[in-house]
Amino acid sequence: MHRFLVVLTLAAASATFPMTAAQAQNADNGKTVFRQVCGICHTVVAGKNMVGPSLFGVVGRKSGSLPDFHYSDAMKAANLTWDEVTLDKYLTNPRGVVPGTLMAYAGLKDDQKRKDVIAYLATAH
């Protein structure tokens, strides 16, 4: 009888809290989010810097490495490679990852939107 109650409890819990697979990255959605959130300061046009550096080719690039952009000392010293994992951490909490960064943005807290923006940035090369 005890096993039956355990199985019944687990079945009820899984019906209440269904497991869902993580959504895949969507570069098209990321483009929209980029325009709304990042496009105020950044572009993905090669060689076109705004308040922030161009993010054209950012995936795989070293932090603070564009020769024609004035980075903070903190960003120049960070020695990061902008891969998916590092971008995800940075976009969640820029000042937590690079203390002293000049990027004023507090971070993109929505996991799916962050994944989508990173997927979009990966297409900009």
DSSP for the chain? Answer: -HHHHHHHHHHHHHHHS---PPPPP-HHHHHHHIIIIITTT---STT---SS---TT-TTPBTT--TTS---HHHHHH--B--HHHHHHHHH-HHHHSTT----------HHHHHHHHHHHHH--
pLDDT in tens, 1-15: 444 333 333 334 333
pLDDT in tens, 29-81: 999 999 999 999 999 999 999 999 999 999 999 999 999 999 999 999 999 99
Give the predicted TM-score (pTM) of the model.
0.80
Q: Which domains does the chain have, with CATH numbers?
A: 26-123 (1.10.760.10)
